[in-house]
A and B are shown apart, each in its own frame.
Chain A
Amino acid sequence: MSLPENIQPPKWPLRLMRRVLRTEYLEEIEGDMEEVFQDNLHQYSVRKAKRIYTWEMLKLLRPSLLRNLKSSYTLTPFAMYKNYFLIAWRNLAKKKAYSAINILGLGVGIACCFLIFTFVQTELSYDTYHTKRDRIYRVTHGSRISEDPKNLSKAAPSWVWGNAPIGPALKRDFPEIEKVVQFSGRADILLTHDDTKYQENGVFFMDSTVFDVFSWNLLQGDPKTALVNPYSIVLTQSTARKYFGNENALGKTLRGTDAPGRAYAGEYLVTGIMADLPDNSHFKFNALLSLSTFKKSLPEIFDNWDYADFYTYFLVNEKFDEAAFKQKLPGFAQRQLKDPKTRYLIELESLNDVYLKSDADRQPGETGSLSNVYVFSIIALFILVIAMINFMNLSTARSMERSKEVGIRKSIGAARGSLISQFLGESFVIVCLSMITAVCLVVISLPFMTGFTGKEFNIGLLVNWKSIPIILGGMVLIAFVAGSYPALVLSGFDPVHILKGINKSAAGVNLRRGLVVFQFSLSILLIAVTIIVYTQMNHLLDKDLGFDKESMLVIDYNNDEAVNAKSQLLKTILESNPSILSAAFSRSVPGSHFPNAGTEIETKDGEMKMMTQPIFEVGIDFIPHFGLELVAGRSYSREFASDSSRALVINEAAAKQYGYKNAREIIGKKFSQWGRTGVVIGVVKDFNFTSLHQKIEPLTLPFQAYSSRYLSIKFKSQNVTKTVEQVRAVWSEIAPQRPFLFSFLNEDFNRQYQADFTFRKLFTTFSCLAIGIACLGLLGLATYMAEQRTKEIGIRKVLGADFRTIVMLLSSDFIKLVVIAILIATPVAWYVMNQWLESFAYRVEISFWVFILAGLIAFLIVALTISYQSVKSALMNPISSLKSE
């Protein structure tokens, strides 16, 4: 048996005693009870002692020992709370329509916020899984405008893509850099294992230090050595499964074709299996090949400071000082290039910024848009504000109804504080109900969001230990803001006035009007913005790009030499098909990836000038095939033998780049490019070979018969599937070693606007919702107003008012507000959209009709919303409205 001192008497009788006995007796009696209990423990079993204790405790309940109920009466608020809830519930149940509008409106608003919040969270979560992310940086390569070393302004956006020697040089010169990891640009390679054959697009030749820098999980293999040896390959789990099924891939080999410009064909040994990349990685791949493979195949590239094929990331140690490091970079560039006047500009980006904040070109993967994050956050706020205004409006409007209640409560003795808490509590109840609605809506609509944005959204982003306090805080805030007017104003009413029937509600009316104007300004703003986004997107899609993108089938065979060798045969067979108009080969097609080249062309002064521009290596028929228009000179032709190596076609922008305003003047000038010399023979009209976000850059189109990557086939538009099948048959006959990878040029090209389309879809959806919510509120308000004026309308009708007058009477108020809202929203929308359009090189002009249309739409929506109610009231029989009391 344990020591009696350790056994405690049962708790609840003690608590009861403390509650009911006179406080001045408590200490003594408690002590006595305890002592008796301890004595009993020695005598009886613990259970009996406890039982006796409890029984004794009950026997203490005698009048002489109990607290005096009359004098120590404390107000328990529970009854009052119960009453508040009852009243809140009755109010909700009595006016079902209002309650539905409030709860639904607010629920949809909160749901929108949640969805946008997940979107924003997803965007913000990119690369956050790298544990060393605060210490990882990458370099970007740019060139300065002038040779003056102090002038750091850039000639063009920097590239993330750059030369190789910078990596080792950085490691050598800066002790604060711990590890450098470099990798090639996205490479495409055909991998084969037995019969399984896939073209892997977007693999990287990766340094062996990769697993020291990035927090990717190597499931099998040694992270230190996996990518050391040439012809090593690390597969992601799903890629390994694709080739090897359930077998263990480690130690097996995959036959790889050449990756043009990077590595020769060879047998790759699987040295590691890594977990699939998280979706929120700023660049993604299915496999990593060792960078030493690249180095073994083409070692000269690794010493060339002018070559661009590498991404350079590095990990720094704790002593790293970003500002000081940046100071040292210009000196570093001069030292390495041994040229004090070099224009080469090295800049730094933190891994935390690469997804959302990088403005550099030639990214290794997709980037997000910080402005979209802002835009959607703002929309979320708008929607919430609109929903909250509904709530406020309806509660202010109905406050008059509640004023009697307030008057009576006050006369009976309610303090202002308790009234405030009553109204805030009521709004909190509504917010809670809305929250439940919102959660249901989110659960239903989350899959649609994935369809919209192409990104996987995780409910875990929404519900975690960090967001729950935010959500709760948000709820309290919404309840407070939305309920503040009735809470603060109603509770301040003078009961004498209210009960006499004198209402001073002018302030309420003005506030309500102000809120409606505000709400509709937001709605009209959203309508106008949606219209402009739509017209701009249509403009992009419909704009004449300067080349044929319709009915064009593109086959990607990744520079397969065997295919290139048979290109003439392929072309002849294909063109014999009556439904195929023409076929052409090229290294790039519009909208795809292209390299840059340095080209020397003779200027007007007769000297050779070196300039860099994108380069499209094309087959002989490329120019007529794509319907490019010649402005001067001629295209490549089979009649001129020298065309195969000594001729060059450029675009107008390139002619201007070398100082020729008139394209004709550049014809016949000497050029030198990539080891070739000759004369410029033709100038094509500028065509948009990249997305319309960018201006047309200078471009050269040298003729390269056998280094093509794409076969593009122009076909007649009827019966597309049949044509594709025919092409496939030809392909598998001539190039059986290559999978038939085809796509349509217009789709490929429009894929560049994926982000814009997503933006448009999301934007349209959310603005429609916002407008819907605003209308819902207006409907509620209009209904209420009409109800308030039932008697007035009845009397007017009796006195002879006709239908039109009454509709006008009820509508004019709101119509006026909408007109004011249009006036407010127009300049704001104009300003905002001008900013947005800045990001497009080719943009629509914002014409005034957009605002007229937006206003008209808003106007119509409002008119429709309130006309229902006003017509209903106008048609009401005055007898029934006047007799109701």
Chain B
Amino acid sequence: MKKTKLGEFEELVLLTVAALQHDAYGVEIKRELETRLNERLSVGSIQSALKRMEEKGFLTSAFGEATLKRGGKRKRIYYTTSHALKVLEEMRAIRADLWKSIPLIVSELKMI
């Protein structure tokens, strides 16, 4: 967990890639996230996140098919690496752990 920091947004993108499986390319990821987050995202933000994560070794990618809608350009399909899954898993564990350790009162107090 030391050097492989994953930002909040990056984590979301990474999860989406993992969820989408073979459909995980730029626009599809964007669409998926937009519906889930209920906010507009820019291509640039998704792309830069993807690129950064690829550099860090969370993702690999390969060219997919081209469609007319894309002006004949090929898609780049992203795949999560096992390292990424492991990190995601760790993150979840950490979070879950943390949730558990929050005293009930605090949450209740906060809720008030």
* Chain A residues within CB distance 8 Å of chain B: 5, 25, 27-36, 38-39, 56, 59-62, 64-65
Contacts and interface: CB of A to CB of B under 8 A. Distances in A.
A68 to B, nearest CB: 13
A62 B48 contact: yes
Given A31-B66, A32-B26, A62 B44 contact: yes
Contact of B73 (A5, A34, A65): A34
A56 B43 contact: yes
B20 to A, nearest CB: 14
Contacts of B74: 27-28, 31
B52 A32 contact: no
A28 B69 contact: no
Interface in B19-50: 25-27, 30, 42-45, 47-48
Given A35-B70, A64-B51, A65-B51, A28 B75 contact: yes
Task: Say whether chain A's binding surface is mostly helix, strand, loop, or mixed.
Answer: helix
Contacts of A31: 26, 66, 70-71, 73-75
B43 A60 contact: yes
A32 B42 CA distance: 11
Nearest to B76: A28
Contacts of B47: 25, 28-29, 32, 60, 65
Given A62-B44, A64-B48, A65-B48, A32 B70 contact: yes
B19 to A, nearest CB: 19
Contacts of A60: 42-44, 47
B90 to A, nearest CB: 24
Given A28-B73, A60-B44, 4 more contacts: A27-B73, A30-B71, A56-B44, A62-B48
Nearest to B66: A31
B106 interface: no
A36 B44 contact: no
Contacts of B102: none
Contacts of A39: 27
B68 interface: yes
Given A60-B47, A62-B44, A65-B47, A28 B26 contact: yes
A5 B25 CA distance: 21
A189 B83 CA distance: 114
Contacts of B30: 32, 36
Interface in B45-81: 45, 47-48, 51-52, 63, 66-71, 73-76
Contacts of A27: 73-74
A32 B50 CA distance: 13
A68 B45 CA distance: 18
Contacts of B45: 59
Nearest to A34: B71
Contacts of B69: 5, 34-35, 38
Contacts of B63: 28
B43 to A, nearest CB: 5
A62 B44 CA distance: 7
B44 A59 contact: yes
B104 to A, nearest CB: 42
Nearest 3 A-B pairs (CB), nearest first? A31-B73, A31-B70, A32-B26
B75 A56 contact: no
Among A29, A31, A39, A62, the most chain B Cβ lie within 10 Å of the Cβ of: A31
B3 to A, nearest CB: 18
A34 B25 CA distance: 14
A32 B71 contact: no
Contacts of B27: 32, 35-36, 39
